[in-house]
């Protein structure tokens, strides 16, 4: 099944996925290693679900059951659930809430783009908001508090930005509906505390080691230029809940507004004219919708500088470099308001009129979205992976020693990688966007030395089966692919290995190999090591020479030698790897990523929290 950015994993890759969270990411999102703390909340869900393949369940089944189907199901049921919570007397109109929330351009493009983590959060969002807001009106039990905390915890797992939006919305709703301190404690503090407890396994090490998880969202970028670029949606797009990249979903390409979508806000806000019951809630939802619309346009006029001010001033707002995340809020409010308008319009005694009106509405809603709805259904169709990628996977995976592969211009979605054989192909070493530019960079001696230090054994020119890598004007350009192959064939320090169809595989002559080696040696020296986990290695040396040892992962000062002193921390090599000065007469030592200890402590708290939640939930039933 193919869905945009969604990933495929070979069984040989999946065997390295572990249910125990790791603070170091040695191969999942990078080929040279990096701290995994900033994205551990979503990566851990991936690791947990991927670990199910160890029980013999194929990845495509896991992907379907835990990633691809849930957003569709959750968003439909969640919207229905939330509508029922808000308007219990009009529950049957909740089906339209499901329709509006699930079938809109924002969700469709997000889903088809393969952003399944965000889609899962989008699906869970109505559950969270519905439960929390109704909590302020009704009596509650400890079970409700525990469930709310659990749901919020899950929302953080899938997307921390949408969880942030939910938190803001919950806070505002408490101010509007309650303002009672007891409800604040039971409705906000306790569930948030429970959610925080569930996520202690990644929060604790971030706090202990003072790492900012927001750095991944480009906090250090030039705010104005970045915000301006990412503010794709203009005001009318934001108002109409029309994704600016609709319909082609090409990043950066925006399209003109289509008139039928302007009817959406018209219908939604007509609910203000039809308010009879639940006026307070309608007002609140309208206010939320207005806020979502205003923020979704980012720095575009009118009053775009306000967004820039928010970005620079409000803590956490730097997560919203891409303002289209606020579409979630708009979608949710419209999903609650539109059925309310319909309930007011089609509540007359003429049954025929009501039925025809409803059918007309559903038809007009679905019609502009029909092609993309077909694409979503089509995405569940099995797709045959090019056979050469299977051959390449087996060839690489069968080799027991550690090495890396370098993919030019990028790692291909069916490319093999694992902790034993990481794949470099996300501009970690070669930074040029084009294949020709990267091949030119390869000629630089310093780059070749870096590849040696990284133990790169194979350079791969992938077969671009999906037309995603060799692009000219957003279209596949065969010439770029052919030129890249031809250029590699002329490179003197590699030899081509045939037998992989359209994939060009080139073996580096005299690769180094090994994750650890003595600095300055060509063969690496007499070193052996055991990989205990991505964040822990046990190394055995002869150690009869006082030469520093290089650990071939991206430099991070939190890598340490044990046993050792404070001086046995990682030093940066010229190729941005880790260097250790190991004390003499220590033939065996371990190299550990220090935050992993924080992960273990945090994991204990998370498990205890989970046990507490389970007990609270069961207690009511007993």
Residues that bind other proteins (CB under 8 A): 229, 232, 234-236, 239, 252-259, 262-263, 265-266, 269-270, 272-273, 275, 279-280, 283, 286-287, 290, 293-294, 301-303, 473-474
Q: Which is nearer to other proteins, 98 or 173 (CB)?
A: 173
Strand partners, 560: 569, 592
Nearest approach, Cβ of residue 259 and other proteins (Å)? 4
Q: Which is nearer to other proteins, 208 or 471 (CB)?
A: 471
Q: Which is nearer to other proteins, 239 or 392 (CB)?
A: 239
Nearest approach, Cβ of residue 235 and other proteins (Å)? 5
Per-position DSSP letters for 196-247, written without gaps between them: HHHTHHHHHHHHHTT--GGGGG-TTS-HHHHHHHH----HHHHHTT--TTTT
- Looking up tokens 């501009």 gives 427
Q: How far apart are CA 68 and CA 5, in angstroms?
A: 12
Q: Do 434 and 546 contact (CB within 8 A), yes or no?
A: no
Nearest approach, Cβ of residue 279 and other proteins (Å)? 7
Strand partners, 549: 518, 580
Among residues 333, 359, 281, the alpha carbon closest in space to that of 100 is found at 333
Among residues 599, 521, 594, 595, the alpha carbon closest in space to that of 564 is found at 594
Nearest approach, Cβ of residue 107 and other proteins (Å)? 22
Bridge pairing between strands 34-35 and 549-554? unpaired
Q: Which is nearer to other proteins, 303 or 562 (CB)?
A: 303
Q: Which is nearer to other proteins, 257 or 385 (CB)?
A: 257
- Looking up tokens 């600095």 gives 519
Q: Which is nearer to other proteins, 473 or 584 (CB)?
A: 473
Nearest approach, Cβ of residue 287 and other proteins (Å)? 6
| Exposure letters 336-347 (e unless 16+ CB within 10 A, then b) | bbbbbbbbbbbe
Nearest approach, Cβ of residue 272 and other proteins (Å)? 5
Six token digits for residue 320: 């919203």
Nearest approach, Cβ of residue 286 and other proteins (Å)? 5
Six token digits for residue 199: 């996520």
Nearest approach, Cβ of residue 210 and other proteins (Å)? 33
Residue 3 neighbours by CB under 8 Å, 6+ apart? 68, 111, 112, 113, 114, 116, 379
Q: Which is nearer to other proteins, 231 or 606 (CB)?
A: 231
Q: Which is nearer to other proteins, 5 or 507 (CB)?
A: 5
Say whether the peptide bond before residue 582 is cis (omega within 30 degrees of 0): no
């Amino acid at each position: 099944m193919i869905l945009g950015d969604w990933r495929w994993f070979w069984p040989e890759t999946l065997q390295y996925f572990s249910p125990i969270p790791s603070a170091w990411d040695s191969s999942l999102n990078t080929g040279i290693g990096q701290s995994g703390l900033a994205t551990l909340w979503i990566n851990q869900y991936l690791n947990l679900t991927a670990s199910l393949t160890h029980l013999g369940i194929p990845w495509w089944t896991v992907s379907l059951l835990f990633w691809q189907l849930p957003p569709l199901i959750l968003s439909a049921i969640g919207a229905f659930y939330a509508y029922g919570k808000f308007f219990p007397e009009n529950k049957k109109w909740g089906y339209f809430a499901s329709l509006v929330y699930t079938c809109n351009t924002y969700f469709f493009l997000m889903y088809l783009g393969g952003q399944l983590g965000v889609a899962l959060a989008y699906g869970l969002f109505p559950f969270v908001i519905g439960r929390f807001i109704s909590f302020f009106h009704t009596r509650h039990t400890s079970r409700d508090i525990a469930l709310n905390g659990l749901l919020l915890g899950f929302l953080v797992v899938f997307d921390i930005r949408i969880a942030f939006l939910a938190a803001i919305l919950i806070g505002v709703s408490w101010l509007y509906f309650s303002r009672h301190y007891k409800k604040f404690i039971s409705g906000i503090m306790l569930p948030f505390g429970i959610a925080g407890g569930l996520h202690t396994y990644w929060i604790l090490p971030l706090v202990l080691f003072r790492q900012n998880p927001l750095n991944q969202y480009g906090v250090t970028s030039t705010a104005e230029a970045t915000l301006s670029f990412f503010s794709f949606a203009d005001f009318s797009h934001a108002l109409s809940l029309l994704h600016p990249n609709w319909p082609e979903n090409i990043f950066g390409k925006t399209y003109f507004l289509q008139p039928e979508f302007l009817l959406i806000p018209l219908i939604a806000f007509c609910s203000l004219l039809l308010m009879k019951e639940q006026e307070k809630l309608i007002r609140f939802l309208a206010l939320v919708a207005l806020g979502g619309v205003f923020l979704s346009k980012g720095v575009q006029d009118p009053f775009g500088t306000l967004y820039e001010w928010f970005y620079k001033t409000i803590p956490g707002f730097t997560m919203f470099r891409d303002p289209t995340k606020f579409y979630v809020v708009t979608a949710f409010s419209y999903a609650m308001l539109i059925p309310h308008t319909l309930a007011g319009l089609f509540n007359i005694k003429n049954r025929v009129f009501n039925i025809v009106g409803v059918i007309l509405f559903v038809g007009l809603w679905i019609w502009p979205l029909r092609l993309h709805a077909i694409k979503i259904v089509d995405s569940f169709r099995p797709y045959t992976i090019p056979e050469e990628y299977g051959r390449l996977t087996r060839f690489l995976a069968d080799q027991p020693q550690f090495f890396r592969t370098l993919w030019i211009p990028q790692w291909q979605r069916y490319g093999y990688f694992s902790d034993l054989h990481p794949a470099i192909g996300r501009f970690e070493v070669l930074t040029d966007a084009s294949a020709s530019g990267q091949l030119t960079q390869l000629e630089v001696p310093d780059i070749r030395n870096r590849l040696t230090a990284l133990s790169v054994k194979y350079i791969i020119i992938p077969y671009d089966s999906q037309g995603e890598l060799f692009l000219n004007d957003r279209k596949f350009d065969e010439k770029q692919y052919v030129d890249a192959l031809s250029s590699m064939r002329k490179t003197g320090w590699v030899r081509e290995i045939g037998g992989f169809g359209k994939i060009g595989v080139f073996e580096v002559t005299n690769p180094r190999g090994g994750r650890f080696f003595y600095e300055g040696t060509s063969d690496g020296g007499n070193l052996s090591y055991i990989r205990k986990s991505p964040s822990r290695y046990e190394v055995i040396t002869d150690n009869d020479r006082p030469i520093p040892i290089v650990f071939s992962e991206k430099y991070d000062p939190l890598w340490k030698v044990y046993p050792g002193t404070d001086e046995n921390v990682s030093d940066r090599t010229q190729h941005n790897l880790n260097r250790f000065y190991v004390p003499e007469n220590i033939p065996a030592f371990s190299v550990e990523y220090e935050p992993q200890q924080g992960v273990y402590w945090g994991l204990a708290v998370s498990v205890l929290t989970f046990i507490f939640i389970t007990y609270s939930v069961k207690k009511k039933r007993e």
